[in-house]
């Protein structure tokens, strides 16, 4: 279980009741709703929604297919651009991407076309009897993919599609990465990440080896020697530290650690529950953590951020979810001291008020305290540098702590590519990671085929 929280009580409600609190956040459209919503699309020739989609899905085309009752055609159109389109339809911040760009998103029209829900409708109702894509003839080439998260899975599927053999090396016991371990339980329900994985693997030619961790029992040097190309989809596996005393005290934990346990729990009533809790951060992970504690039965949930609401990483939509679950959003406050009880366990935190002076964040000297049984850090993820500890890996050029890549996702080492959160490109979004994996696979394929023709 979660050792730093073992001293906390369990939820008051039984497992079945708690499971009901984690039902699907956004119920799917029915056939009638999908038809009405699809009819609102203007099928713009210049389609600003497509330009706003990181995975470049042909949105007007798939919506037209739905309107024409060709659901399978719509699904195939989506999957050809984004093989993880089902999970992206559920977790992608469409409100700041495609739907924000929709031409109907104005005061006169009142609301954009609900692109995310239409994408989900198409993929949930396609009912493919077999995998919609066929592998090309075998090329005899072998690709190593490190990390079975969205970037790695996307890369593996596209490489397999081109006829290459792919081996995915994954540290955890399940594939899926963030979709399996890091997303709020109410966003991806009914073991969706694993069902989507099984569908993806139907392409064939992909092997997953679990318990394989780069920098531990796996080295980039060996992979580079044994495979024709290597793709690194390492993600951000480490949590950033507060830099305060008592950061390892019982009751203080990284939010991602708790979310991982919650997503894997068969019985939510066995999870430790903080009646009063503090979540530090301002991104979607902070919101996910705070809302899930509230749904488990926490009486007092405070999300604290050192800057203002307008600078929060979480979208306005996510902030509204938090408010609807009675999460209190406190801004302009920075952690100053972890407060402990006589047993050395967390009893609260002291904060110092902050403000902007000439564009720089400054403390005011004014402090206040919040009581809490647990504190969850959601202040960002960091790159685990131990993954790049072997001699060849140390040669990788970095931008800060992340791996430096070019527009084709090539690293500084020939034949080694990288994508997703571990790189310096784009936003840390699932849909962006999927696009990175797809683009890297195309670059890998082009290089290998060029070399083969030259030979």
**CATH number of the domain encompassing residue 107:** 1.10.1060.10
Q: How far apart are CA 66 and CA 60, in angstroms?
A: 10
């497992």: which residue's tokens? 15
pLDDT for 373 equals: 97
Last residue of a domain, one of 380, 407, 433: 380
% of residues, the chain, pLDDT over 70: 98
Comparing 64-68, 100-104, 107-111, 354-358, the range with the smallest average pLDDT is 107-111
Together in a domain, 220 and 290: no
Using the predicted structure, report yes or no on whether residue 69 has a pLDDT greater than 70: yes
Residues 246 and 305 in one domain: yes
Examine the pLDDT at 77 and tell me if it is beyond 80. yes
Residue 101 domain-assigned (yes or no): yes
- 187 in any annotated domain: yes
- Are 362 and 254 in the same domain? yes
Could you tell me the residue range of the domain that residue 442 belongs to? 142-236+383-454
The reply to whether 210 and 187 lie within a common domain is: yes
DSSP assignments along 90-132, one per residue = HHS-GGGTHHHH-TT-STTT-S---HHHHHHHHHHS---SS-S
Q: Is residue 186 part of a domain?
A: yes
pLDDT score of 455 more than 70: no
**What are residue 272's DSSP bridge partners?**
none
Contacts 24+ apart (CB under 8 A), 396-405: 399/424, 400/424, 403/232, 403/234
Question: Chain-centre distance of CA 226, in angstroms?
Answer: 30
Where is average pLDDT lowest: 10-14, 160-164, 424-428? 424-428
* Same domain for 367 and 267: yes
* Pair 398, 354 in one domain: no
Higher pLDDT, 438 or 389: 438
Q: Rounded to whole angstroms, how far apart are CA atoms 57 and 79?
A: 8
- Is the per-residue pLDDT at 238 higher than 90? no
147 and 70 fall within a common domain: no
> Which pLDDT belongs to residue 24?
93
At 1 the pLDDT is 60
Are 347 and 217 in the same domain?
A: no
CB-based contact 398:49 (threshold 8 Å): no
How many structural domains comprise the chain?
Answer: 3
Residues 269 and 371 in one domain: yes
Say if 244 falls within a structural domain.
yes
């Amino acid at each position: 279980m979660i050792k730093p929280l073992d001293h906390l009580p369990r939820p008051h409600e039984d497992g079945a009741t708690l499971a009901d609190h984690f039902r699907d956040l956004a119920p799917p459209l029915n056939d009638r709703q999908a038809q009405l919503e699809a009819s609102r699309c203007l099928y713009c020739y210049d389609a600003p929604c497509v330009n706003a989609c990181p995975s470049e899905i042909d949105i007007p085309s798939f919506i037209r297919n739905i309107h024409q009752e060709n659901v399978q055609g719509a699904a195939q159109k989506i999957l050809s651009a984004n093989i993880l389109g089902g999970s992206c339809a559920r977790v992608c911040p469409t409100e700041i991407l495609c739907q924000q760009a929709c031409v109907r998103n104005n005061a006169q029209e009142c609301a954009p076309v609900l692109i995310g829900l239409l994408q989900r409708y198409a993929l949930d109702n396609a009912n493919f009897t077999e995998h919609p894509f066929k592998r090309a003839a075998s090329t005899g080439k072998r690709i190593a993919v490190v990390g079975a998260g969205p970037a790695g899975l996307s890369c593996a599927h596209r490489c397999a599609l081109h006829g290459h053999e792919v081996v995915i090396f994954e540290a955890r016991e399940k594939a899926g990465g963030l979709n399996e371990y890091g997303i709020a339980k109410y966003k991806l329900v009914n073991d969706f990440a694993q069902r989507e994985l099984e569908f993806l693997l139907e392409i064939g030619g992909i092997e997953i080896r679990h318990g394989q961790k780069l920098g531990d029992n796996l080295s980039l040097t060996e992979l580079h020697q044994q495979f024709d190309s290597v793709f690194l989809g390492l993600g951000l596996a480490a949590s950033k530290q507060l830099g305060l005393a008592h950061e390892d005290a019982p009751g203080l934990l990284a939010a991602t650690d708790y979310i991982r346990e919650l997503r894997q729990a068969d019985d939510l009533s066995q999870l430790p529950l903080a009646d009063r809790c503090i979540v530090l951060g301002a991104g979607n992970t902070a919101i996910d953590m705070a809302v899930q504690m509230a749904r488990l039965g926490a009486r007092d949930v405070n999300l604290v951020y050192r800057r203002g609401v307008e600078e929060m990483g979480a979208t306005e939509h996510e902030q509204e979810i938090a408010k609807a679950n009675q999460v209190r959003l406190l801004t302009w406050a920075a952690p100053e001291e972890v407060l402990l009880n006589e047993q050395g366990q967390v009893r609260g935190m002291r904060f110092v008020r902050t403000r902007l002076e000439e564009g720089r964040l400054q403390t005011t000297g004014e402090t206040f305290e919040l009581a809490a049984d647990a504190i969850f850090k959601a202040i960002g993820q960091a790159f685990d540098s131990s993954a790049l500890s072997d001699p060849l890996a140390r040669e990788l050029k970095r931008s800060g702590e992340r791996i430096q890549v070019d527009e084709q996702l090539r690293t500084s080492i020939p034949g080694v590519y990288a994508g997703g959160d571990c790189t310096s490109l784009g936003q840390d979004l699932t849909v962006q990671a999927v696009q990175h994996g797809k683009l890297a696979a195309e670059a890998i394929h082009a290089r290998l085929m060029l070399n083969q023709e030259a030979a």
